[in-house]
Structure formats: C-alpha cells, structure tokens
Amino acid sequence: MSLQPETFKSLVKVAAEQVISSAPELTSLDQAIGDGDHGINMKRGFEAVLGKLDTISAQPLDEALMMIGKTLVMTVGGASGPLYGGFFLAAGEALSHDKHLPDDLADVFGSGVNAVSARGRSQAGEKTMLDVLVPVLETLKTAAGQPDLIERVRTTAAEAVERTAPMQATKGRASFLGPRSVGHVDPGARSSCVLVQAVCARLEEQK
Amino acid sequence: MNDTVGIVIVSHSKDIAKGTADMVRQMVGNEVKVAFCGGNPDGGLGTSVPSIIAAINDAWSAKGVAILVDLGGAETNSEMAVEMLEPVRRDLVVVCNAPIVEGAVMAATEAAGGSSLAQVRAVAEELSAD
C-alpha cells in the first residue's frame, strides 16, 4: 500500500463524495436521536474540502491532512467540525513529526482518534464516532502488515457501527434522550464508517 | 472600556445570542465589550468557528474575554476557535461552564466592576455549581 499524491487525491475525493451522498441518511439518523443537522453539516464541510481538493492534494501529505482538518473546522458548523477537523489536524501533525505512511498508519490514525477523544471528552462505549474509530484503530494495530488488512478494517467498521444501536448515549445531544437513545445507530459512528469504508473500497480497487 | 473583561455569547440561534446580548447591555450599558454570534456558516441553527473568532476579536480586551455558550457544539466550536487564535491571545480567553443567559449577565456585571478574567469566570460558573 503506497500513497502517491494521485492516490491520496482520489481517496479524499471518494471519501468526500461518499459523505456527501450519505447526507440524507446521516440527517435521518440524527433526527432520531439528535438535532438533525449531522448530514447537512458534514455535506457542507466535505463540499468545502472538494472545492479545495486541487490545492489540498498539491501539499505534502502532513500539510494536506491539516488543510482538510482546518477546512472542516471552519465550515462544518456543528460539533462534528472540531471533532473530524481535529482528527485530520492531529493526523497531519503526527505525520509532520517523524511518522510515515504506510508503516506508521496505526500511529497516525491513533493520533487522530486521541484528538477526537480529547476534544469530545469521550471514550468508546458512549455511542459516538469513537465507537467506530477505536475498533478500527485496534484492527489497524492487530492486522498491520497482513494481506487482508483492508478487508478486516471494512468489516470492523461495519460491525462497529451496528453495535452503537443498543448503546445508551452518554455524550452529545443524544444523551438528553437517556434510554430513548437505545435502538438507533449513532449518526457520528455512521459517518465515520462511511469515511473508513470509502477509503478501504478505493484502496481495494487499486490493489 | 479596555479595563474590563470582554464577553462573547455563542448560541446555536442568532436570536438567542442577540437577545442575551441585549439583556447584558441592559445591565452594563457600554461599560463592557459584548459580542455575540449564532448560526452555522449557512445561517441555520448551529455555530461557526470563523464567526466565534470574529466575535472574540470584537470583544477583545487586554484583560481577556469570557465566552458563554449554550449546547455542546457551541462549546466544542468555541474551544476550537480559542485554539486558533494567535498564541498571545489564546491564554486570555476562557469558555465558561455556565448557563448562557444567566452566565452572560452575571459575568458582564462582574466584569463591569473591573474584575479579573478568573473572577468573571468564577462568578458565571458558580451558577453551575451543585
């Protein structure tokens, strides 16, 4: 798995497009247990990323990730802006400090996950995006270097997002619903799954 | 006027932010700099980091700025906005853990008396104490 500039550009493009086309589903999930703006917010943010894609992909990888992060922070307009934005800012920051892809993928991804956890003051198990990101990070660590890594990451993300349905939310707007948050998939977990799976699908196509 | 802590009000709703700022001004007139913002970058309900940064700069005082927020995203986006300020300003801005309307009015009243940023924050946050 090498990461050439054109590959990176196509990964960002497909991930953004998948989030944008998932906006109605994300909104509908968020209407069930939140304020109903997750789809439109993510769409606004990733449309802004697409609008800058040429500039972003012309940067070195660390700066490109930080530019994606800053764009999301400045345009999303909900808590998901600093959360997803913070993920990319921290991942880019990690790459600028002696981390390299693909060898340090788990470390770089882990820096992003830590940033989300810190910003949201949250851990896995609270019915949030971390309930997808943390299991994905575990798979990146345990399956590093394995030939079926990408497939295992996809499966992990797909299973993890479904596991948020029976959880009771203790963070974010959904926590106001208490036990009534049970039975619905978390919208942030779904958007994380969409992003992870879009990247995996494109990487598998290129194998 | 520069001797008093500035107040920034960040709500998901521009109407709530403006209404809160009106109530603050009724208490402190122009003795304290007050700025507010509300709404996402498209103008719908939500909050916007660039608008929060602009509000902090509008309410800027050498004594610092206290931010009052409503729900989660307003807090998260405010914290992000603070981190994106120039380094010399970053340590002089706090996001208060307080109810937005009561917190803003009490914080501004305290600020009008010339209190420090820490004192202004403490008065607002007493409202959230058990």
Express each pLDDT in A57-110 by its tens digit.
999 999 999 999 999 999 999 999 999 999 999 999 999 988 888 889 999 999
Determine, for residues A82 and B50 on separate chains, whether the beta-carbon distance falls below 8 Å: no
* Active-site choice (B5, B7, B9, B12): B12
- CA dist., res. B100 & res. B11, Å (int): 8
pLDDT at B3 (0 to 100): 87
- CA dist., res. B13 & res. B71, Å (int): 10
Find the closest chain A residue to B40 by CA distance: A77
Q: Look at residue A44 and tell me whether its pLDDT is greater than 50.
A: yes
pLDDT at A108 (0 to 100): 96
- The pLDDT of B58-70, averaged and rounded, is 97
Amino acid letter, residue B112: A
Under a CB-based contact definition with an 8 Å cutoff, are residues A100 and A61 in contact? Answer: no
- The pLDDT of B93-117, averaged and rounded, is 97
> Is some CB atom of chain A closer than 8 A to the CB atom of B13?
no
Question: Closest to A79 (Cβ–Cβ): which among B44, B48, B72?
Answer: B72
Question: Closest to A77 (Cβ–Cβ): which among B41, B71, B72?
Answer: B41
CB within 8 Å of B106: residues ≥ 6 apart = B98, B123, B124, B126, B127
How crowded is residue A6: how many other Cβ atoms within 10 Å of its Cβ?
9
Question: Closest to A82 (Cβ–Cβ): which among B41, B50, B76?
Answer: B76
pLDDT band at B2 (very low <50, low <70, confident <90, very high): low
pLDDT at A2 (0 to 100): 54
B110 among known catalytic residues? no
Express each pLDDT in B72-99 by its tens digit.
899 999 999 999 999 999 999 999 999 9
How many pairs of residues across A and B have Cβ atoms under 8 Å apart? Answer: 56
Determine, for residues A40 and B44 on separate chains, whether the beta-carbon distance falls below 8 Å: yes
- Smallest CA–CA distance, residue A205 to chain B, in Å, is 36
Determine, for residues A172 and B72 on separate chains, whether the beta-carbon distance falls below 8 Å: yes
pLDDT band at B1 (very low <50, low <70, confident <90, very high): very low
Angle between helices A80-96 and A187-206 (to 10 degrees): 40
Distances (CA, A) of A10 to A53, A197, B37: 10, 14, 36
Under a CB-based contact definition with an 8 Å cutoff, are residues A33 and A181 in contact? Answer: yes
pLDDT band at A207 (very low <50, low <70, confident <90, very high): confident
Find the closest chain B residue to A48 by CA distance: B41
Determine, for residues A119 and B79 on separate chains, whether the beta-carbon distance falls below 8 Å: yes
CB within 8 Å of A103: residues ≥ 6 apart = none
- The pLDDT of A162-170, averaged and rounded, is 97
CB within 8 Å of A157: residues ≥ 6 apart = A132, A135, A136, A192, A193, A196, A197, A200
Express each pLDDT in B27-61 by its tens digit.
999 999 999 999 999 989 999 999 999 999 999 99
> Is some CB atom of chain A closer than 8 A to the CB atom of B84?
yes
